[in-house]
Amino acid sequence: QVQFVESGGGLVQPGGSLRLSCVASGNIFSSYVMGWYRQAPGKQREAVALIMPGDSIYYVDSVKGRFTISADNAQHTMYLQMNNLKPEDTAVYYCNGRRSIATPTYLGVWGQGTLVTVSS
């Protein structure tokens, strides 16, 4: 059983920055795909930034150059540094993972996430 607790969301102006944190508990292995997902109003959930096997990094095109994913394995924590935020980034952000890129199910239950609102 893996559990995740997200934090760090809030209201920010366009061009501003936020840093999201995710504390994980349970058994997580280096072969897993771990990272951040988001769901914007009226849209499907999408992967935002992922740490892939071998520690390679995936970013969705819309956030490249603006977001940075990182992890502190000793603290079982992932981070998402979000810079130059745009209104289109407004969404509920979640952390989660999969045993592999081909695994259809996720490690954790989709909880409340943390809400990021980008507005002037």
Residue 116 is predicted with a pLDDT of: 98
What DSSP letter does each residue of 16-63 carry, written as one string? --EEEEEEEES---TTSEEEEEEE-TTS--EEEEEEPGGG-EEE-GGG
Tens of pLDDT along the chain (120 residues) come to 899 999 999 999 999 999 999 999 998 888 999 999 999 999 999 999 999 998 899 999 999 999 999 999 889 999 999 999 999 999 999 999 999 999 999 999 998 999 999 999
Burial environment of residue 26 by CB neighbours within 10 A (0 to 12, 13 to 18, 19 or more): exposed
Number of Cβ atoms within 10 Å of the Cβ of 69: 21
CB-CB neighbours of 16 under 10 Å: 14
